[in-house]
Amino acid sequence: MLKTAVIHPTILEVLARSGHFAQVVIADGNLPVGAMTGPNSTTVHLNFKPGLLDALTVLEGILEVCPIQGAIVMEKPAEANAAIHQSYKKLLGDVTWDEMERWAFYDKIWEPATTLIIQTGEQRRFANLILIVGVVKMAEESTF
């Protein structure tokens, strides 16, 4: 029996074998994940219906299981709303943050460093998020 709230076997397996600098993608319901699968990535479909599961819920679960040191989102057009980016920043806290042009963002997902793509039922636009896995620091290493 697991003590963590995250119990999805495939997600736990892939996170367990994802090391420092591995990339984990939380995809909204519109990202064509079938065309985004890279050479080392596993795709998990959590998009049961629109809105379920949403990207913030998935991010909260990932943060319970895995250290994250960075995040990347897709640049939005000036006229678009991407309020979810602020929600991501609030949940992620002190991590590096970057925005990428659309096609560069897609190329980043295709990189061999991407180990996991989680498709959600998130309906907000520009909700795709690339997480960079960090390291678990030992108590004596807390200064770096």
Residue 33's CATH number: 3.40.1650.10
Whether 13 is in a domain gets the answer: yes
Q: What is the pLDDT of residues 121-137, one digit of tens each?
A: 999 999 999 999 999 87
Residue 129: which H helix or E strand, with range? Answer: strand 129-133
138 assigned to some structural domain: no
Measured between alpha carbons, how far is 43 from 23 in angstroms, rounded to an integer? 12
Q: pTM of whole model > 0.85?
A: yes
Please report whether residue 143 resides in a domain.
Answer: no
Residue span of the structural domain in which 14 resides: 9-133
**Confidence (pLDDT) at 141:** 65
In a domain, 1, yes or no: no
Rounded to whole angstroms, the Cα distance separating 42 from 27 reads: 13
- Residue 119 to residue 29: CA distance in whole angstroms: 6
Task: Tell which residue, 136, 139, 108, has the closest CA to residue 41.
Answer: 108
* Domain count within the chain: 1
Reduced to 3 states (helix: H, G, I; strand: E, B; else coil), residue 119 is: strand
**Model pLDDT for residues 8-45, shown as the tens digit of each residue:** 999 999 999 999 999 999 999 999 999 999 999 999 99
Query: Is 114 part of any domain?
Result: yes
Whether residue 139 lies inside any domain: the answer is no
pLDDT band of residue 144 (cuts 50, 70, 90) is low
Contacts of 83 (CB under 8 A, 6+ apart): 124
Residue 19 placed within a domain: yes
In a domain? residue 82: yes
Averaged over 76-81, what is the pLDDT?
90
Helix (H, G, I), strand (E, B) or coil at 22: coil
